[in-house]
Amino acid sequence: EAGVAQSPRYKIIEKRQSVAFWCNPISGHATLYWYQQILGQGPKLLIQFQNNGVVDDSQLPKDRFSAERLKGVDSTLKIQPAKLEDSAVYLCASSLALDRRNTEAFFGQGTRLTVV
């Protein structure tokens, strides 16, 4: 079974530039998550999709971050314009999320973003 694919693995940009991350979840997983992990902190949920609908984006800084999930499969996360404090690892994960026993999240390797 193919895992969650993310690209790019690393990205260095200057502040005020824009950047986009891509995620391809495990086939058949209806739920897709984007997490932001800043050094020294736990992963923070930015946005959660169920198929192509948004379930939770309460912690997404909507003035600069946007995300979409095309046809309920691939997803992109965009930052425009980037700030220094956006430097973090951006993790994409997917899950069946059918019931209590199927809530395991499968993660991609993440994108390490450095804003200079």
Residues that bind other proteins (CB under 8 A): 3-4, 31, 33, 35, 40-45, 48, 50, 55-56, 59, 91, 93, 95, 97, 100-101, 103-110
String of DSSP letters for 33-89: EEEEE-TTS--EEEEEEETTEEEE-TTS-TTTEEEEEGGGS-EEEEESS--GGG-EE
Residue whose CB is less far from other proteins, 80 or 103 = 103
Pairing label, strands 111-115, 10-13: parallel
Least distance from other proteins to the Cβ atom of residue 16, Å: 28
Residue whose CB is less far from other proteins, 17 or 106 = 106
Least distance from other proteins to the Cβ atom of residue 108, Å: 6
